Amino acid sequence: KISEAGLTNVEDVTQAQKGFLRSLFNFGTISIQTAGDKLQFIFDDVPNPNFVRNIIVDLSDEVKRSGAILNN
């Protein structure tokens, strides 16, 4: 099964690192809340989760801004 959500549907992105080894090796879980059919996407064992979370948030914001500019 494959699910996808456009960046315009991203509502919230969180990251978590639980446990000593995950913190030591900088791995964690990324959760993406969306406004689409599938309400939550969870990715486990993501390297450098804070960096990945920031990229997703920045891209989502950029897509939403460019869409707002194009619609005006």
Q: What is the mean pLDDT of residues 4-27?
A: 93
Model pTM?
Answer: 0.83
Residue 32 contacts residue 6 (beta carbons within 8 Å): no
| HSE of 15, CA atoms in CB hemisphere, 13 A | 19
pLDDT of residue 27: 97
What pLDDT does residue 35 have? Answer: 86
Please determine, for residue 72, whether its predicted confidence score (pLDDT) is greater than 60. Answer: no
Least confident of 18-22, 27-31, 66-70: 66-70
**Beta strand spans in the chain (E):** 10-16, 27-34, 40-47
pLDDT digits (tens, 9 = 90+) for 27-67: 999 999 998 677 899 999 999 999 999 999 999 999 988 87
